[in-house]
């Protein structure tokens, strides 16, 4: 009969806590801060695994031909979780900085030629989010994946060629029905309705016999100005959306 599940067995702590292999200890001169160095980087990789888990969930949702609106809340929740994890990752640097440069030099030479540039999961995160090859800095004047093993290079290239979150969000925005759907054009309808509303307000102001011509002009300008301010839009932004021809009557 299997042993009942415990905290230790569920988290596989025996394996987890035994995977810090100090190179300085193997060399016969244990460096005190090497354990901190290993744990910090292993923690990064564990968080990278969780970030990829969340990104994959977002990609699965956004990759659908039609994204149900109720699932957009899930997308935002997963993305907020990623942001929270990123904050933790940045804050972890403060822990690593408690190790001095001299402390690091006690074991640094034993780590050559390994480097953080060889983090496959970090490259996966970059590619899944949509970082393009043309936007990357080269690694020692070579392609970014050149520091990886052959198998890891194949994995990274496969992820790079797959759809990214950036591309999926662009596709989602492009097919949003409230912008243009069949014979309906949102911005065309919006511009017409805005003009009709402002024309109605202007006619009401001009019909007010108690106002002088200068007062009428000022009141009309106030109405138009209030509209743009209330909607957090500028005339230039509106023109950029609907085109100068449609915005001209306004």
pLDDT at 54: 98
pLDDT at 63: 93
**Verdict on whether the full-model pTM lies above 0.85:** no
pLDDT at 51: 98
Cα radius of gyration (the chain) = 29
Beta strands in 53-195 (DSSP E): 180-181, 184-185
- Fold of the domain built from segment(s) 7-174: Methane Monooxygenase Hydroxylase; Chain G, domain 1 (1.20.58)
SS3 sequence, 214-235?
A: HHHHHHHHHHHHHHHHHCCCCH
pLDDT at 214: 86
Give dist(CA 71, CA 162) in Å, integer: 22
Give dist(CA 99, CA 37) in Å, integer: 8
pLDDT at 43: 97
Half-sphere exposure of residue 72, counting CA atoms within 13 Å on the CB side? 7
pLDDT at 223: 76
pLDDT at 201: 83
pLDDT at 234: 46
Give average pLDDT by consecutive 10-residue segment, the chain, 250 residues.
Answer: 91 96 95 96 97 97 90 94 96 94 94 90 94 79 85 92 91 72 74 83 85 86 71 53 50
Give dist(CA 241, CA 94) in Å, integer: 45
Give dist(CA 100, CA 38) in Å, integer: 15
pLDDT at 228: 63
How do the domains of the chain map onto residue ranges?
Answer: 7-174, 180-247
Count the neighbouring beta carbons within 10 Å of the beta carbon of residue 4.
6
pLDDT at 244: 53
């Amino acid at each position: 009969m299997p042993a009942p599940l415990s905290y230790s067995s569920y988290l596989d702590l025996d394996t987890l806590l035994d995977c810090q292999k100090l190179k300085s200890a193997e060399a016969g001169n244990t460096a005190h801060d090497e354990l901190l160095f290993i744990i910090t980087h292993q923690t990064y990789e564990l968080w990278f695994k969780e970030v990829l888990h969340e990104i994959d969930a977002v990609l699965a949702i956004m990759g659908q031909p039609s994204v149900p609106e109720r699932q957009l809340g899930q997308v935002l929740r997963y993305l907020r979780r990623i942001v929270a994890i990123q904050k933790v990752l940045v804050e972890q640097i403060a822990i690593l900085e408690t190790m001095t440069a001299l402390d690091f030099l006690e074991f640094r030479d034993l780590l050559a030629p390994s480097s953080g540039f060889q983090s496959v999961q970090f490259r996966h995160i970059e590619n899944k989010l949509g970082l393009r090859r043309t936007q990357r800095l080269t690694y020692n004047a070579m392609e970014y994946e050149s520091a990886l093993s052959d198998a890891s290079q194949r994995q990274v290239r496969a992820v790079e060629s797959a759809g990214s979150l950036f591309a999926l969000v662009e596709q989602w925005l492009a097919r949003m029905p409230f912008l243009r759907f069949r014979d309906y054009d949102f911005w065309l309808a919006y511009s017409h309705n805005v003009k009709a509303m402002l024309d109605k307000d202007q006619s009401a102001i001009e019909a007010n016999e108690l106002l002088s011509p200068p007062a009428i002009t000022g009141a009309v300008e106030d109405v138009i100005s209030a509209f743009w301010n209330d909607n957090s839009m500028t005339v230039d932004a509106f023109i950029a959306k609907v085109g100068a021809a449609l915005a001209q009557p306004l």
